[in-house]
Structures are given as C-alpha cells and as structure tokens.
Amino acid sequence: MHTSVPALPTALPEVEVSTTARRATPLAVLCRSGDPTPAPVTRETELTGEWMRAVALTGKAGEVQPGPVGSAVRWVAGVGEGEPDQWRTAGAALTRALNARIDTDTHAGRAAERTIQLELPADAGPDHIADLVVGLRLGGYGYVVSGEPEPPRVRTIRLVVGDKAGELEAAAHRAAVLAQATALARDLANTPSNVKDPAWLARMATRTAGRAPGVDATVRDHHWLAEQGFGGVLAVGGGSTRPPRFVELAWGRRGAPHVVLVGKGITFDTGGISIKPADGMHLMRTDMSGGAAVIAAVEAISQLGPDVRVTGLVPCAENHVSGSAYRPGDVVRHYGGRTTEVTNTDAEGRMVMADALAYAVERLAPDLIVDVATLTGAMKVSLGLRTGGVFASEDAVFDRVRAAGERVGERWWRMPLPSDAGTVGDEFAEAVRSEIADVRQCPPGPGGIAAAMFLREFTGGLPWAHLDIAGPARADRNYDEVTAGATGFAARTLVELVSSYSL
C-alpha cells in the first residue's frame, strides 16, 4: 500500500551570521577543555568559577550545560581543544540539547524558545565556522513519517562573530548547503519502501532538480531501458511489479571539466532468489543511499556554482522475489554489449551500476567517473561503520577523494585494486572472467575487492573511483552530527570532490 509523498526535505535550523547580539534572544557560549572559561569572556560575572565547579564543566567536545539560573547565558557548549571537527560535534550536541528543551517546554505548556544566538570566540576561523554550521544544522535532524506533524525544533541560530562577519559568511553559507544535501540524502534513504519505489525515487530526483538552478532532469522508464539494452537494470527489477527507472541529472557548462556521479538506486533489496535473512532486511530501504547522495550532491553543486560540469546517473530498481525474478546462472547483456554470468542475485547493485557506468563511458565521455553504493557487507567488516572504502584507478583520484572527505568531515580509506600487470593481489584479477560470459558477477576473492574488479570492467579505462559506503551509510545511534538511521554519508564528499575540479 502506498502512502502520501513526504514533504521533503526535512527542515533544518537556519543559521545566520551577525556582528551583534540581540538583548532579548537567549545566548549560548562556547568553551574549550583545559580552560573551560567561555570565550569570549564577556559574561564572566555570570559564569563564575563556583558555578563551573558545581556542574563539573570540562569543555570537552560535545558537552552541553544549561547556564546558571538568572544568567543571560542559557547554554554552554564545549569544543574540546578547538579543532574544527570538534566544533562540528559541539554544534550537533547543542542543537540536540535545544530541541530536547523545546520538546519539554512544549509538552509542559510553556513557551518554547526556538531562536538562540551563539557567541563565538575571536579566533574562530572559516574552518571552525563551517564545521560548526554542519553540526548545528544536522545534529537535530529527525525523519518524520508522512502525515505525522513536525516536532517542535529550534528554528534559528544566530552566530555572533564580532567584526569578522564578511569573511565567515561565505564559509557558513557553503556549510549550510552541504548540511542540507546530507539531510536530503537522509530523507530519501529513510523513506519506507512502501512509499519509495523506483518511480517515486525518480519523481523525487525530478522535484529536487526543479528547485535547483540550471539542473536538467531526464527520467527513462523500463520501455526505454529495454530498447537501449540496459540488461542489468531490467534483470534486477524484473522480479518486482514496480518497474525500474533510470535518472539522469545534468548541470554545468560544456567545456568545463566533466565529472559523472553514479549512485546505486535499489529502493528495496530482498536479495531476490538468493534471499537475505529476515533479520535486518528492514534496513534495505536504505540500499539506495548511494543514489540519494548523488541526487543531493547535484542539487548542492548547482547552488554553489563551481565552474564544472556534473552528471548524476541513478539506476533505480527494486530487487524482489517472484516468478519473473532473475536467477543464479543467468547470462545478462548490459548496455554496450558486455555480458555477465549471474552467480548471486543479492549482488544486484553491481548489475545496475554496470549499465550506468557503460552508459557514462559511451554517451558522456567524462574526465572522471565516481560511483557510490552500499555495495558489500565485506566493507563493513574491513572498515567498520564510520569509514567509507575507496577503490581508485589512479593515486591522484584517491588523493582528491580523501582530501574532499577531510574538508567536510567524512572519513575514507583506500582499498587495493588488483590489476593484470603483476601487482600485489593480481591473483584475483583474472577471477572476474567467466567461461560462459565476459565477466562473473561475483568473482572469487575478498568481497569488496571482487565487486570493485567487476565494476572496473565497465569503466572503459577512464579515471574512476568506486566508493563503497555499506558501513557508514547507516547508523544505529547518534554520534557527532550523525543521527540514527540513514546518515547521508558521501553527499558532502561528492560536492567537495566535484568542486575541486572547478576551473
């Protein structure tokens, strides 16, 4: 049964930059660990050493304390040693504390203060502000099921920065756009799959493009996919009554460096005939997190306006079990003619992405292809739940991905990509060959590496990076700016990566 379409994206608090504080607006201040005196110290008579000792104020990153009774300072938030990423943690913790107080006041029938100003120390730089804004906006994120009322949340946070507003406003604006991209990716991935089928995801991509300046959106249906030979997408989507779609989002001028982003858009994954265990299958509504990150990134890139050209491709399908589902042992012909021997229908992501990669090579001829997917459980075993894996065709490509992630607070680790040229691990390189088709869907070897080697077959030798986000795409609890559920991981990295190619 389908329910109504949620009102996406989730509203995040607006963040303003100001040179002056307003007397009537509640105030929050920041403090560092070691010397937890809030800085700037403009209210030292209100935040006494006696009060600090009474509440055991440490200033560690993420610590939030209500201010003294009767003080103009309502909240004190710790930023640890003051590193930029600790400011992101502090911002998220402060927003969560504000929302909790608003919720308590609302339920008690008291007037809830939904605007606050945060006084910043004089040495706050653009990097600090950027991380703080991401934390402030995302820390209070919460997906709201369609039809349910929005919970009361903080609406506006004013950053009081003294006389440096000019140099900090640009950093705050960019961070606000990045945070909104992360939130949109979370919204799309968190939406339940009785609502979210391939057609729905395509509509959301089109709607997102409609509010993004200069983005052209094209959606192709299963008839077009059949005419063009997208055998991977059609095979995976063949078991569902809800047919697949192929989304193409384009922005930027011709002649600029061209980056193609490919995102896995599996709106629900039962595993197909190679069915998954029931335990944990409900999380497969987030199996299109890669596609969500691509949709959100293209919108954010259009808002920031770097001199690049970006194309986002999202093959959308639902991997279901039925009499028309594809089978182990099938041979599937992809876009462009290359064939795959199917060995496990639960390795469906690489099947749909192979079509999209081949399409990107033949139709778009980009300077760089980046694909992103919740692809293998092996990556969770290798890197845990907070780090994404990167398989890169060139050192320079990996360096750009890593640097982009560092700038936006997303962690990446390079994984080996064996070649046929006698490098370490080349014993796996030939395993991708099939005796009855061009390639095997699941060649023997380490799961994450095997998947990357399969995808490489469809990249045409172009510069390429494969981002496996199976671990960090979902969270079972809140930490830093992340909230439980879909995390929106990779959206910010994609924006920064594409922007790094700006002329």
Kindly give the residue spans of alpha helices, DSSP state H, lying in 282-389: 289-304, 348-359, 377-383
Q: Would the pLDDT of 148 be above 90?
A: no
Q: What was the pLDDT predicted at 37?
A: 65
Q: Would the pLDDT of 380 be above 90?
A: yes
Superfamily of structural domain 14-180: Leucine Aminopeptidase, subunit E, domain 1 (3.40.220.10)
Residues carrying an active site annotation: 276, 350
pLDDT tier at 10, thresholds 50, 70, 90: confident
Average pLDDT over residues 301-316: 98
Sequence letter at residue 306? P
Taking the domains of the chain in order of start, what are their residue ranges? 14-180, 191-478
Cβ atoms 401, 390 nearer than 8 A: yes
Q: Which of 58-67, 108-117, 418-427, 458-467 has the lowest mean pLDDT?
A: 418-427
Structure tokens at 391: 């398989």
Superfamily of structural domain 191-478: Zn peptidases (3.40.630.10)
Q: What was the pLDDT predicted at 221?
A: 98
If one compares 163 and 156, the residue with the highest pLDDT of the two is: 156
Cβ atoms 267, 240 nearer than 8 A: no
What does R_g of the chain's alpha carbons equal in angstroms?
24
The DSSP string of 210-274 is: HTSTT-EEEEE-HHHHHHHT-HHHHHHHTTSSS--EEEEEEEE-TTS-EEEEEE-EEEEE--TTS
Q: Could you give the CA distance from residue 398 to residue 402 in angstroms, rounded to a whole number?
A: 6
Average pLDDT over residues 303-307: 97
Structure tokens at 369: 């292809």
pLDDT tier at 96, thresholds 50, 70, 90: very high
Please list, residue by residue across 249-275, b when 16 or more beta carbons sit within 10 angstroms of its beta carbon and e when fewer do: bbbbeeebbbbbbbbbbbbbbbbbbbe
432: CB partners within 8 A, 6+ apart: 439, 440, 443, 450, 453, 454, 457
Q: What was the pLDDT predicted at 150?
A: 82
Q: What was the pLDDT predicted at 270?
A: 98
Q: Would the pLDDT of 429 be above 70?
A: yes
Q: Would the pLDDT of 60 be above 90?
A: yes
Q: Which of 92-101, 347-356, 413-422 has the lowest mean pLDDT?
A: 413-422
Nearest residue to 361 via CA among 337, 342, 340: 337
Structure tokens at 245: 């779609």
Q: Could you give the CA distance from residue 401 to residue 96 in angstroms, rounded to a whole number?
A: 30
- Beta strand ranges found along 301-367 (DSSP E): 309-319, 331-333, 339-341
Tens digit of each residue's pLDDT (9 = 90 or more) over 339-371 = 999 999 999 999 999 999 999 999 999 999 999
Q: Could you give the CA distance from residue 23 to residue 90 in angstroms, rounded to a whole number?
A: 24
Percent of the chain at pLDDT exceeding 70: 94
If one compares 205 and 427, the residue with the highest pLDDT of the two is: 205
Q: What was the pLDDT predicted at 44?
A: 45
Q: What was the pLDDT predicted at 426?
A: 66
Q: What is the pTM of this model?
A: 0.95
Biggest alpha carbon–alpha carbon distance for the chain: 80
